[in-house]
Amino acid sequence: MLPSRSDSQQRSLENPDKQTMRVDSTKRNEKLIEVPRKKLNMRLYSESEQKFQDYVNSKIVTISIIALVGAYAILIFVIVALEELLDEAEFNKISSILSWIELGILIIFILEIFVGLYAWGIKKYYKDKWLILDTLIILLSLFFVIFELADQKTSNVIKVIQAVFRFLRIFLLIRKAQTFRRLATISTISTPAEKIVRFLAELKEVLEDENMKLDIDYCIDKIGNNQLYQMGKLDEDNAEAMAWLNQSQQGRTEIKRIVTNEQQQQQLQQKKVMANFQKLNIPKRLLDILFKQHDDLYIDPFECDKLSGGEGLVNLMLFFFENYNLFDVFLIKPKVVRGYFEEVMKGYHDNPYHNKVHAQDVAQTCNFLISKCKFIEIGQLDEQDIACVLIAGAIHDYGHPGLTNAFLINSRNELALTYNDQSVLEMFHPSQCFKIAWGNQKVNIFENLQFQKYRRIRESIILMVLSTDMAHHASELAITNSRIAAPDFEPNGKDKQRLMDLIVHSSDVSNPTKSFEIYKQWTEKVLTEFWLQGDKERELGLPISYLCNRYTTNTAEAQVGFIDYVVKPTFACILGFLPAYEPFFQNLDKNKAKWQELIEYYKQQLASIQPK
């Protein structure tokens, strides 16, 4: 169904007035549904016909025919060359031998045609119109060879025709070689994908409906180009990509239907009662900013941290707890929440990048996605879900040593040993944060939760933090894309957790989606951290990790790649189920263009520094 749906949308994009086109495509869908009943109008082959097909496609026959084609080519060149080199009398002496050989080869070609006709039937065999020409040339060549053998005295006219046919025979050889190269490719099929492509190609051959053939072409193209889970670029000219994105639109209309549950929205109505917030002791200037910008993509995280005396993370989480009524959900007093996040904040090391401000920034970006981009409505998040997303954002890099998993594994670090090299840091962060709570009753935000509720919250938070491991980025994104495109996609049901995971993971890589000024600061910080790791790796004689070599990493080039290969596909996926994200998506291209302008500058910078 996928290709026809996207195809029809592609057409309606090209010309929205063409209602008839859409009607056609609906008909096509009906036809597709009817297919099994009609058995695709396929001709069913008898056992002996199938045996012949297998025989013709067998390696031995394929190789023999190719060898024969080669021999025939040599023969024709020999005939043409001898005719030129020898005088007529000498040539006539040997020409009959050559003609007999030619006759033999042509008879084999004729036999091959007969076998093909028997195995596939005239209709399918001559589906390739070139084969009709091939047959004609072979038959006429045969006629001329017999004519030559019967009567040596040929007229000038016949000689000219013969010359033309020699030329055509060479053409025929090239055609034959191509046919057999194709056959040879088919006979070496090894992967399931190739077998599917072959099956689809054969199916296409026997179908009569032109639209269905187009659908099959689409399938072959996507399978053959390994694009089954690829999100297209947001390029107006790229109709296919638009069609794919509109595929998600299909889900979106359904989402809108599910969403407008007024009652629930009212329940989640943000309690913006200033007095309640003031009790939380959030510094006044920060509170003013959070009131206006708590769900804003362009909030300045560095400013927020500064305005709260370096306690931005704690104050932001207190604001969220009040805003979403989470004190009541956790049956907990604000001072316990403050105490808990103070402990979490203390656990963040003073790394250039993976520090408490990054945690605060990720939690706030999560809030932007669930609130401004309306995942609360689309996923029908309850207070518990909201709490999980925001807490996961806040704790997701707790205790980060400023070194990557690869470094920890390569240097046989204790953490790698503890977590068996599997998502080492992503296992470590939540593990420590649950220990903080259960190790100190005064800060245990989970203490009053009913056990089942606690289990659900714990599981959800752990899953979200695990999703920030870049090692699983590509495969998880592919699965999420396919879920969004699936007819049974349920953003508020069975797919909710997966989407919550993506919310946290995408917030973690969201710097390129922000204003360039903020983004550039984060870039400098992350590379400073990576380069410190690179220096360590150099010292220890370990392989220097990707982006970690300060002497070779071009900051601007690295960011262009990061946007193209990681961030853009991630947020294209977000766009697939959060249409409200659309106005922000273009930031990526704008920021990429800015980095592209800076590539040369960073090249010069690199040239000016040398390793010690």
Residues belonging to the active site = 354
CB atoms within 10 A of CB 322: 22
Q: Is 421 exposed, middle or buried (0-12, 13-18, 19+ CB in 10 A)?
A: middle
What sign has the CA pseudo-torsion 528, 542, 551, 600?
negative
Specify the stretch interacting with Zn ion by CB under 5 A; choose among 203-211, 331-339, 392-400, 565-573: 392-400
Whichever of 385 and 397 has its CB closer to Zn ion, that residue is 397
Task: Name the one range near Zn ion by CB under 5 A: 270-278, 302-310, 376-384, 396-404.
Answer: 396-404
Alpha-carbon gap, residue 223 to 196, rounded angstroms: 8
Q: How far apart are CA 88 and CA 545, in angstroms?
A: 76
The nearest distance, CB 512 to Zn ion, in angstroms, is 14
What is the closest distance, in whole angstroms, from the C-beta atom of residue 355 to Zn ion in the complex? 10
The smaller minimum CB distance to Zn ion, of residues 212 and 526, is found at 526
Kindly state the smallest distance separating residue 296's Cβ from Zn ion, in Å. Answer: 20
Residue number with CB closer to Zn ion (148 or 397): 397
d(CA 239, CA 53): 39
DSSP H helix total and E strand total for the chain:
31, 0
Among 395-403, 414-422, 442-450, 452-460, the segment contacting Zn ion (CB under 5 A): 395-403
398 contact partners, CB below 8 Å, separation of at least 6? 344, 347, 348, 359, 428, 429, 430, 432, 433
Contact flag: residue 426 with Zn ion (CB under 5 A): no
Span 557-596, contacts to Zn ion by CB under 5 A: none
If one asks whether residue 397 binds Zn ion (CB under 5 A), the answer comes out as yes
CB closer to Zn ion, 343 vs 397:
397
* C-alpha dist (Å) from residue 80 to 54, 73, 91, 167: 37, 11, 11, 10
Handedness of CA 103, 105, 107, 109 (dihedral sign): negative
Q: Does residue 148 belong to the site contacting Zn ion (CB under 5 A)?
A: no
| DSSP states of 436-496 | HHHH-GGG-TTTTS-HHHHHHHHHHHHHHHHTT-GGGHHHHHHHHHHHHHSTT--TTTTTH
Query: Residues 177 to 236: which contact Zn ion by CB under 5 A?
Result: none
Scan residues 508-537 and list those touching Zn ion (CB under 5 A): 508
Which pair of structure tokens corresponds to residue 439?
A: 């190790």
Q: How far is the CB of 580 from Zn ion (least distance, A)?
A: 24
**Complex with Zn ion: residue 449 or 500, whichever CB lies closer:** 500
Applying CB under 5 A, what is the total number of residues that bind Zn ion? 2
Burial of 353 (0-12, 13-18, 19+ CB in 10 A): buried
Shortest approach of Zn ion to residue 397 CB, angstroms? 4
Nearer to Zn ion, 305 or 508 (CB): 508
Q: Which stretch binds Zn ion (CB under 5 A): 54-62, 160-168, 390-398, 552-560?
A: 390-398
Q: In the complex, what is the shortest distance from the CB of residue 253 to Zn ion, in angstroms, rounded to a whole number?
A: 34
Part in contact with Zn ion (CB under 5 A); list of ranges 171-179, 397-405, 431-439, 440-448: 397-405
**Contacts to Zn ion from residues 453-512, by CB under 5 A:** 508
Which residues of the chain form contacts with Zn ion (CB under 5 A)?
A: 397, 508
